[in-house]
Amino acid sequence: MGGIRLPRSRLRTARLLVPLLLLAAAFPGAAAPGVQDAPDARLGTLEAMRAELARSMERLRLKGYEAPYFASYQVTEVAREEVSGRYGAIFDDRSRRDRSLAVDLRVGSYELDSSAPEENTIVIGGGDAGPGWYAPRDAPLDGDVGALRNALWLATDEKYKEALSSYFKKKSRAVYRQDDADRPPSFSREPPARHVDPPRPFAFDRARWKGVVREVTARFREHPDVFDAQLRVSAEKQVRWFTSSEGSALVTERTVYSVHLEAVARAPDGQLLEDGRDFYARSEAELPSPEALRAAAGTVIAELEALRRAPAIDPYTGPAVLEPEAAGVLFHEAVGHRLEGERMEDEQDGQTFKGQVGRPVLPPFLTVVDDPTADRVDGVALNGTYGFDEQGVPARRTVLVRDGRLESFLLSRRPVKPFDRSNGHGRAQAGRQPVARMANLVVESRKRAGAAELKRMLMAEARRQGKPYGLVIRDITGGNTNTMSMGYQAFKGTPRLVYRVDARTGAEELVRGVELVGTPLTAINKVLATGERPRVFNGYCGAESGYVPVSTVAPAVLIAELELQRVARATDRSPILPAPWSERGATPPAAAPPTAPAPVPAPPPAHPAVPPEQPEHAR
């Protein structure tokens, strides 16, 4: 048996090596054996993937059943370095590297294939319901191409059997349901893509960051009301190999460096108060300096101490200004998720914008774009930038809403009427099946006003509605939304800093105890005007295909009516004893370079380069 198969496998491998050599020569920095003196081991991995894929497409077929018409392999390596600490000490110090694989295999045709929404679910159990054992989704770390091909072989076999089962279930529905003449094809036809990124450096000065973590977190010892604080510094490098039966061959790399400062306190009435700062960068050199992190810690301390003194307010409905980071979360949750293409064809989804192409869906002065090709805004690197999506399709700038009218959706390779091609938004966490997702969501406006004018308009709108005050939401931690038809079409955001603005005097007062809620189309269509300068909100978004890095770029917005509800009532006590280092004779806190005390924020300065944390989509 081996004598028959081995020569054919070697012949196929030899035929595949030629396009790989040409591919490497076409891109500076990409290498393959015989092209440059130093061979690029990454291309050996790609070659092994292409060889096993060719073997599967040529020979994989269960007697009496159809062969696959399409397959793709993706292998993703993630290397991560992380240091974190509390109270002036290191609590976590880790280094991790792993590889995962994903197989997309389809039976049928581009018009009707085996793909189904269930492919993102996890089946537990075996017997008649499915296999009793599942192929691992890990890939070897040491470049062993034989082990890699074996892992791909097992995953491909499993996917083929699943695809056959799914395909016949899909075809059997025609017995009970009339065929929908307007049903879009199952899979879009896309030209193959070939690209190799040059290797990217991946530095992490562990000793330096340990010192920074100790120094910055030690500052919180001097402020016992802020009873816990953490600083986490991480670096992540992702290398992705992708190949498909259509001829795509990709090697891409990305690096993300981040610093997360998080602190908590408790108000006298028991409400837990959280605050922090988040920084993202493409290289270690772009991360904030120790001086900047000390200043950020001082600001967080001042904000939490001010929030402890701030009054809790009652639920509110009325005009509000959302500053850029909060506005970005609003558009991400209320608009962006509802423009993800798969939702238009999912019968369990609310399908908010299905059939609305060409119709007004937002105020006429607003345009919404998603642009994965954008790299930076005002010097701030965007998290959602990439060159090719997880289906091997080149990223493309896409106008979603132009002057208030719906123009397109975020599209993966699952077509959505009236569109039959992907626009490069098929995204997924490593090892998950891609669906249409946001990347860099950009909100543009033709009705802009300066900060002072926007505040004046807020006060005027509050007086017009007979409200004693309006609200300004200056910072937000993130949000979530529900889009399913069986649930309420709503979104929620968690503000960090909310200010009550007197409708007559303009005096501002920091308040607490509320969270942002509402129905998406109602809130967005009550935008009256926007600010002049957009800012960046960087984070990670979680949905069906896992967590992916995203950004929103938005100006401040004035909304005529926004609802804030009271946060869940908390009655927990603060720690009963004082912190050990606050008592006489305790070990003194670690010394830190002297810095000027941070003022109590009323209101605090804007933080254009300090993005809050991640928006999240709940289903």
Residue 423: strand, helix, or coil = coil
Predicted local confidence at residue 611, as pLDDT: 36
Would you call the peptide bond into 28 cis, given omega within 30 degrees of 0 as the criterion?
no
pLDDT > 90 in the chain, percent? 67
Burial letters for 300-335: b for 16+ Cβ neighbours within 10 Å, e otherwise? bbbbbbbbbebeebeebebbbbbbbbbbbbbbbbbb
Predicted local confidence at residue 566, as pLDDT: 84
Predicted local confidence at residue 355, as pLDDT: 83
Spatial CA neighbour of 115 closest among 413, 344, 558, 561: 413
pLDDT tens by residue, 598-614: 443 444 433 333 333 34
Query: What are the angstrom distances between the C-alpha of 85 and each of 90, 93, 214, 216, 228?
Result: 4, 9, 7, 9, 11
Distant-in-sequence, close-in-space partners of 34: CB < 8 Å, separation ≥ 6: 21
HSE, CB side, 13 Å, CA atoms: give it for residue 172. 6
Predicted local confidence at residue 178, as pLDDT: 63
Look over the chain and give the mean of its residue pLDDT values, rounded to a whole number: 85
pLDDT tens by residue, 172-217: 877 666 666 678 899 999 999 999 999 999 999 999 999 999 999 9
Predicted local confidence at residue 585, as pLDDT: 56
Predicted local confidence at residue 476, as pLDDT: 83
Question: Per-residue confidence at 129, pLDDT binned at 50, 70, 90?
Answer: low
Predicted local confidence at residue 352, as pLDDT: 75
Q: Which two tokens stand for residue 374?
A: 């954008």
Check pLDDT > 60 for residue 119.
Answer: no
What is the chain's alpha carbon radius of gyration, rounded to the nearest angstrom? 27
3-state percent breakdown (helix, strand, coil) of the chain, nearest 5: 25, 35, 40
Q: Which two tokens stand for residue 53?
A: 């894929």
| Mean pLDDT within 539-543 | 90
Cβ neighbours, 10 Å, residue 461:
22
Q: Which two tokens stand for residue 138?
A: 């890990």
| Mean pLDDT within 33-42 | 50
Check pLDDT > 80 for residue 121.
Answer: no
Helices 290-309 and 206-218: crossing angle, nearest 10°? 30
- DSSP-derived pairing of the beta strands 440-445 and 366-370: antiparallel
HSE, CB side, 13 Å, CA atoms: give it for residue 456. 5
The total number of residues written for the chain in this structure? 619
CA pseudo-torsion sign 337, 341, 342, 346: positive
Q: Which two tokens stand for residue 348?
A: 């369990």
Predicted local confidence at residue 117, as pLDDT: 59
Do the Cβ atoms of 51 and 65 come closer than 8 Å?
Answer: no
Q: Look at phi and psi of residue 64 and say left if phi exceeds 0, alpha if psi is from -120 to 50, else beta.
A: left
Q: Which two tokens stand for residue 282?
A: 């493409």
Check pLDDT > 50 for residue 118.
Answer: no
Check pLDDT > 90 for residue 434.
Answer: yes
Distance CA 508, CA 574 (A): 28
**Residue found by looking up tokens 């190999």 in the block:** 241
Q: Which two tokens stand for residue 404?
A: 């208030």
Predicted local confidence at residue 347, as pLDDT: 63
pLDDT tens by residue, 74-111: 999 999 999 999 999 999 999 999 999 999 999 999 99
More confident residue, 597 or 150: 150
Predicted local confidence at residue 170, as pLDDT: 86
More confident residue, 353 or 430: 430
pLDDT tens by residue, 458-511: 999 999 999 999 999 998 876 665 554 445 556 677 888 999 999 999 999 999
Predicted local confidence at residue 32, as pLDDT: 32
Predicted local confidence at residue 515, as pLDDT: 85
Question: Per-residue confidence at 350, pLDDT binned at 50, 70, 90?
Answer: low
Predicted local confidence at residue 27, as pLDDT: 42
| Mean pLDDT within 437-459 | 97
Do the Cβ atoms of 558 and 458 come closer than 8 Å?
Answer: yes
Predicted local confidence at residue 572, as pLDDT: 76
- State the burial class of residue 59 (Cβ atoms within 10 Å of its Cβ: 0-12, 13-18, 19+): exposed
Spatial CA neighbour of 209 closest among 234, 229, 238: 234
Predicted local confidence at residue 191, as pLDDT: 97
Spatial CA neighbour of 506 closest among 557, 560, 451: 451
Q: Which two tokens stand for residue 85?
A: 């600490």
| Mean pLDDT within 535-540 | 93
Query: What are the angstrom distances between the C-alpha of 585 and each of 87, 578, 581, 589?
Result: 17, 13, 8, 12
Instruction: Find the range with the poorest average confidence among 264-268, 389-393, 401-405.
Output: 264-268
- State the burial class of residue 12 (Cβ atoms within 10 Å of its Cβ: 0-12, 13-18, 19+): middle
Alpha-carbon dihedral angle through residues 596, 599, 604, 609, given to the nearest 10 degrees? 20
Distance CA 339, CA 353 (A): 7
pLDDT tens by residue, 265-282: 999 988 999 999 999 999
Spatial CA neighbour of 260 closest among 297, 308, 302: 297
Distance CA 72, CA 418 (A): 26
Q: What is the largest CA-CA distance in the chain?
A: 89
Spatial CA neighbour of 339 closest among 433, 252, 402, 382: 402
Looking at residue 612, its amino acid is: P
Predicted local confidence at residue 582, as pLDDT: 76
Instruction: Find the range with the poorest average confidence among 27-31, 328-332, 521-525.
Output: 27-31
Looking at residue 572, its amino acid is: D
Check pLDDT > 60 for residue 246.
Answer: yes
Predicted local confidence at residue 478, as pLDDT: 66
| Mean pLDDT within 127-137 | 76
Spatial CA neighbour of 476 closest among 323, 331, 584, 578: 323
Question: Per-residue confidence at 35, pLDDT binned at 50, 70, 90?
Answer: very low
Predicted local confidence at residue 565, as pLDDT: 87
Do the Cβ atoms of 514 and 315 come closer than 8 Å?
Answer: yes
Do the Cβ atoms of 32 and 39 come closer than 8 Å?
Answer: yes
What's the first-to-final CA gap in the chain, in angstroms? 49
Instruction: Find the range with the poorest average confidence among 15-29, 86-100, 229-243, 448-462.
Output: 15-29
